[in-house]
Amino acid sequence: MYRTIQFVLLSIFLSPIMALASDEITSSLQDQKSVAVTIYNESLALVKDVRTIRVNNGPVALAYRDVSARMRPETALLRSLSNPGKLSVIEQNFDFDLLTPQKLLEKYVGKNVNVVRTHPTTGADTVESAQVLAANNGIVLKIGDRIETGMPGRIVFPDVPVNLRDRPTLVMSLNNTGSLQQEVELSYLTGGLNWKADYVAELNANDDRLDLSGWVTLTNTSGTSYRNARLQLVAGDVNLVRQNMPMAMAAIRREMKPSDKQDSAKMAEESLLEYHLYTLDRPTTIAENQTKQVSLLTATGISTRKELLLQGSNYYYQSSYGDLGQKMKLGVFVEFDNKDSEHLGMPLPKGVIRVYKKDSSGNAQFVGEDSIDHTPKNEKVRLKLGDAFDVTADKKQTDFKKLAGDSRYNYVFESAFEVILKNAKKEAVTVTVQEPIPGDWKIVRESHPHEKATSNTAVWHISVPAEGRATLSYRAQVKY
């Protein structure tokens, strides 16, 4: 009687598990009704995958195929859209160990397989049973009373283990009390989806206006495709708890497909908490192992300011140095305002701006690039394109003396400088000389008027004639 009760209880306990194992329902991309993908800056994306599935009442196992191989399974959430509350998840397993000959061999360590050998003359096959002893850096088999290494013939496996899948699969144990056919949504966070902004600017002949185009570059290495997806992008620095993500596809080498550029796409922008959300106005397919581009913005005739900058240092205001440099390089900077009046005004995601300018033959030539951070509306964009070729500077300290002080906390120094700016161009230029001056300072004498840009910075704007030179001389007094 006691054994009978034990058997009955064991049967009741095992029956749902046996049903789940034997009646697994598979859902693939063929069942997909829609998918939405929101991609963040830090190789993170939110996927919402809606499918129509058919499930029996009671306990059932659902194999949700073609999910991201870099899914964060702890974030996965399945819910029924057509029968809310009628479909519950009891347990879920993320199978990202994908089927390969090596993986199949590893799963059979300690188990028996068949080895098929073909006679080289007669072509007849002989079959032997073998036990797989090891599969690391080769194979070790026990055949009868002997041990063999290497591949003695074709290995025939009786079956594929249930946890070895050909595609990344989320296997869920469900309990269904609703209808047999339901529309469900699986949402999860995943790695392997990235986006960045790239910009192309073209300066006009006078360097006072530019045309700007912005592109969003998407890269998908998540292990699955997203067909006709509703695409949204979040620009901003979202805080993430750092952890190791599953790297299911790390063992598989892949080559990226060529870039797929979509010219007609437009991105709408809106605020989202303290970030900005960009939404593509039409569905797009993000194929597995693909890089594609969609248009972000286009603006023409943006007012531009070019600056030739000679940047100084603060160390030579407290000691005698003499010659400070010959033929010193001047940085070339271009800046513009992200305003509605300049045909812009959209918050610009961080990225790289590459600048071109047409030569005398009308061919666009690359003249420099710089990266920008997330730039809100009405902020200034400033780019360093390189160093000037035809405009140089010679700089020296012409005088230095200590006026007072007997310790580092009460010194008073006075020093004089001469900066000769030379211009080999056929047109006049204006050079900005920027000097960071330490301590409590003042300019006691100067050949050109300065402005106090910040508490420790003096700035001069010097006009240099075509194929000529100009000299800036000044004397500064510094107290510590």
| Tokens standing for residue 297 | 């913005």
| Tokens standing for residue 446 | 């100067």
Helix-, strand-, coil-residue percentages of the chain, each rounded to 5: 10, 60, 35
User: Rounded mean pLDDT of the chain?
Assistant: 86
Element (DSSP H or E) covering residue 62: strand 58-65
| Tokens standing for residue 420 | 């000769």
- pLDDT for residue 2: 40
Q: Taking the domains of the chain in order of start, what are their residue ranges?
A: 101-156, 305-338+381-479
The highest-level CATH class for domain 305-338+381-479 is mainly beta
Q: Has residue 256 got a pLDDT over 80?
A: no
Q: Is-contact 421 471, C-beta < 8 A?
A: yes
Render pLDDT for 71-80 as a digit per residue (tens, 0 to 9).
999 999 999 9
Centre a 10 Å sphere on the Cβ of residue 145 and count the other Cβ atoms it contains: 5
Instruction: Identify the band that residue 154 occupies on the pLDDT scale cut at 50, 70 and 90.
Output: confident
Q: Has residue 117 got a pLDDT over 80?
A: yes
- pLDDT for residue 259: 46
What are the residues whose beta carbons fall under 8 Å from the beta carbon of 303, sequence distance 6 or more? 208, 209, 336, 337, 342
- pLDDT for residue 249: 35
- pLDDT for residue 21: 41
CB-based burial label for 239 (10 Å; 0-12, 13-18, 19+): exposed
Q: Has residue 42 got a pLDDT over 80?
A: no
Instruction: Identify the band that residue 418 occupies on the pLDDT scale cut at 50, 70 and 90.
Output: very high
| Tokens standing for residue 178 | 């609703």
Q: What CA–CA distance (Å, rounded) separates 269 from 345?
A: 11
Render pLDDT for 312-359 as a digit per residue (tens, 0 to 9).
999 999 899 999 999 999 999 999 999 999 989 888 998 999 999 999
List, as one string, the DSSP characters of 235-255: ES-------PPP-TTTTS---
Q: What CA–CA distance (Å, rounded) separates 333 from 209?
A: 14
Instruction: Identify the band that residue 275 occupies on the pLDDT scale cut at 50, 70 and 90.
Output: confident
| Tokens standing for residue 229 | 């997806």
- pLDDT for residue 150: 80
Q: Has residue 258 got a pLDDT over 90?
A: no
- The mean pLDDT of 287-309, rounded to a whole number, is 93
Q: Has residue 217 got a pLDDT over 50?
A: yes
Greater confidence (59 vs 22) lies with: 59
What are the residues whose beta carbons fall under 8 Å from the beta carbon of 106, sequence distance 6 or more? 135
- pLDDT for residue 266: 59
Q: Of 389, 393, 468, 367, give the one whose Cα is nearest residue 426.
A: 468
- The mean pLDDT of 210-216, rounded to a whole number, is 94
CA triplet 46, 90, 188: central angle to 5 degrees?
5
- The mean pLDDT of 120-130, rounded to a whole number, is 87
Q: What CA–CA distance (Å, rounded) separates 300 from 294?
A: 19
- The mean pLDDT of 401-426, rounded to a whole number, is 92
- pLDDT for residue 407: 80
- The mean pLDDT of 221-248, rounded to a whole number, is 75
- pLDDT for residue 3: 41
- Give 203's Cβ-side CA count (13 Å radius): 24
Instruction: Identify the band that residue 257 occupies on the pLDDT scale cut at 50, 70 and 90.
Output: very low
Render pLDDT for 385-405 as a digit per residue (tens, 0 to 9).
999 999 999 999 999 999 998
Instruction: Identify the band that residue 19 occupies on the pLDDT scale cut at 50, 70 and 90.
Output: very low
Render pLDDT for 193-210 as a digit per residue (tens, 0 to 9).
999 999 999 999 999 999
Instruction: Identify the band that residue 274 occupies on the pLDDT scale cut at 50, 70 and 90.
Output: low
- pLDDT for residue 223: 87
Please report, for residues 117, 126, 153, 156, the alpha-carbon distance to residue 122 in angstroms, rounded to integers and kept in the order given.
Answer: 12, 11, 16, 21
Per DSSP, 349 falls in state P
CA-atom Rg of the chain in angstroms: 35
Q: Of 421, 432, 431, 434, give the one whose Cα is nearest residue 467.
A: 421
Q: Has residue 215 got a pLDDT over 60?
A: yes
Q: What CA–CA distance (Å, rounded) separates 256 from 191?
A: 17
Q: Has residue 278 got a pLDDT over 90?
A: no
- pLDDT for residue 461: 97
| Tokens standing for residue 15 | 């029956």
- pLDDT for residue 280: 87
Q: What CA–CA distance (Å, rounded) separates 463 from 466?
A: 10
